[in-house]
Chains A and B, each alone.
Chain A
Amino acid sequence: MSQPESNQTPSMAFYTVVWALLIVIVGVEVLLTFRHFPSRELLAYLLILAFVEAGIGVMYFMHLKYERSILFWSVIPVLLFVFFMMDHIWPDALRIEHLRVVHW
C-alpha cells in the first residue's frame, strides 16, 4: 500500500527565510560581477551560486524535500546526466573560432 503524499509543510515564516536567503545569493552574484574577475572565473562562481539557488528552490519551494525520495531520484539524476552530456560541446565551440574563412 502506497503511503499518502507527504503532509509535511513548512510554515510561511520558514519559506520567508528561504526567500530572503535566495535574495542574498542574488546580491552576492551581483557583487561578484562587479569585482572584475576574469570571465571564466566569474562564470564558475555564478554557476555554482545558480545551482545552489536552484537546489534550494527545488527542495523547498517545489517541496521535493518533503516528497518520497523515489521522486527525487527519478527526477534529479537524469536531469544532471542530461546537463553533463550537453557539457561536451565546448571543444567544438573553441575550434570554430580558429576555422579559416575560405573566400571563393
Chain B
Amino acid sequence: MSESEMTVGIGHGPSMEASPFAIPSKKLAMWLFIMADAATFAAILFAYGFLREASPNWSTPFAFSPTILNGMIMTVVLLTSSLTALGGVQAAKAGNKSSCMRWLGATILLGIVFAVLHLREWFKMFDEGWRLFQNPTGGSAQFGAAFFSITGLHLLHVISGVVAIIIVALGYNRGRLDAGHVETTALYWHFVDLVWMFVFPLLYLMNAH
C-alpha cells in the first residue's frame, strides 16, 4: 500500500486521515526541522547583532581582497550547488538514475569546495592571530566569538549536508531510497544555502573596511 493510498484510506485496515499538506511525511518533517533550524540561526544572528551594538570598539577587518572576494566565490559555489541539487531532484523524479548521480555528484563536489574555501579562510585568520576571544586588531574580543561560532555552525550544516547527500545518492543508486528521499535531502541543502544568504551580508559585508 503506497503512502498516498494509506492517507486516503484505500484498501483494507483502518483508514487514516488525509494529510492537509499533501506531501510525504518525511518532507513535512524536513520542513518542521528547517523551521526550528531557521529560528536557531536567527537567534544566533540576533545575538551577534546584540554584541555588535553593545560593543563600542567593534572591528571591521575584512578587505575586499581576499576576504570579501573569497566570500563572493563561496556564495556562488553554494548557489550553484543548490542548482545542481535541483537537477538531481528532477532527474530522480524522472527515474533517470545516472543523471541524478551526476547532478548529486556535482552538488557534493561544490559542497566540499565551499567547506575547503571556508576552512582555508579560517586558517588564514588563525595565522593573523584571530581566535574565539582574541582580536589582533585591538578591537572587541567578541568579534572572533561571533564570527567563528556563526560560520562554524553553518560549516557544520554544510558538512553534514554533504554527508547526507552522499548517503542518499548511494541509497538511491542502489534502489533502496526513492526520489522523495533525494527531494527531502535537497530541501535541507537549499536551507543551508538560504542561511548563507544572511550570514554573508551580516558577517562579511557588514564587517568590511
- A associates with B: yes
Q: If A67-B21, A68-B21, A87-B46 touch, does A26 touch B76 (CB 8 Å cutoff)?
A: yes
Contact present for A70 and B20 (CB under 8 Å): yes
Interface size on A, residues (CB 8 A): 52
Instruction: For chain B, give the interface size range.
Output: 35 or more
Specify which chain A residues have a CB less than 8 angstroms from the CB of B50 in the assembled complex.
Answer: 89-90, 92-93
Specify which chain A residues have a CB less than 8 angstroms from the CB of B191 in the assembled complex.
Answer: 62
Contact present for A22 and B206 (CB under 8 Å): no
At the interface with chain A, which of B79-87, B120-128, B170-178?
B79-87
Which of B39, B72, B206 has a CB less than 8 Å from the CB of A82? B39
Specify which chain A residues have a CB less than 8 angstroms from the CB of B72 in the assembled complex.
Answer: 26-27, 30
Contact present for A22 and B54 (CB under 8 Å): no
Specify which chain A residues have a CB less than 8 angstroms from the CB of B31 in the assembled complex.
Answer: 71, 75
Q: How far is the CA of A3 from the CA of B34 in the complex (A)?
A: 24
Count of inter-chain pairs, beta carbons less than 8 A: 133
Q: If A2-B19, A74-B21 touch, does A19 touch B38 (CB 8 Å cutoff)?
A: no
> Shortest beta-carbon distance, A7 to chain B, in Å?
9
> Shortest beta-carbon distance, A21 to chain B, in Å?
10
> Shortest beta-carbon distance, B6 to chain A, in Å?
11
Contact present for B20 and A26 (CB under 8 Å): no
> Shortest beta-carbon distance, A6 to chain B, in Å?
8
Interface residue SS majority, chain A: helix
> Shortest beta-carbon distance, A19 to chain B, in Å?
5
Q: How far is the CA of A96 from the CA of B205 in the complex (A)?
A: 25
Contact present for B21 and A46 (CB under 8 Å): no
Q: If A19-B82, A30-B72 touch, does A57 touch B53 (CB 8 Å cutoff)?
A: no
Q: How far is the CA of A38 from the CA of B76 in the complex (A)?
A: 27
Specify which chain A residues have a CB less than 8 angstroms from the CB of B187 in the assembled complex.
Answer: 62-63
At the interface with chain A, which of B106-114, B157-165, B193-201?
B193-201
Chain B residues engaging chain A, CB cutoff 8 angstroms: 4, 7-8, 18-24, 27, 31, 34-35, 38-39, 42-43, 46, 49-51, 53-56, 64, 68, 72, 75-76, 79-80, 82-83, 86-87, 90, 93, 187, 190-191, 193-194, 197-198, 200-202, 205-206, 208
CB-CB nearest 7 A-B residue pairs: A2-B18, A93-B53, A46-B201, A96-B54, A33-B205, A53-B197, A93-B50
Chain A residues engaging chain B, CB cutoff 8 angstroms: 1-6, 9, 12, 15-16, 19, 22-23, 26-27, 29-30, 33-34, 39, 42-43, 46-47, 49-50, 53-54, 57-58, 61-63, 67-68, 70-71, 74-75, 78-79, 82-83, 86-87, 89-90, 92-94, 96-97
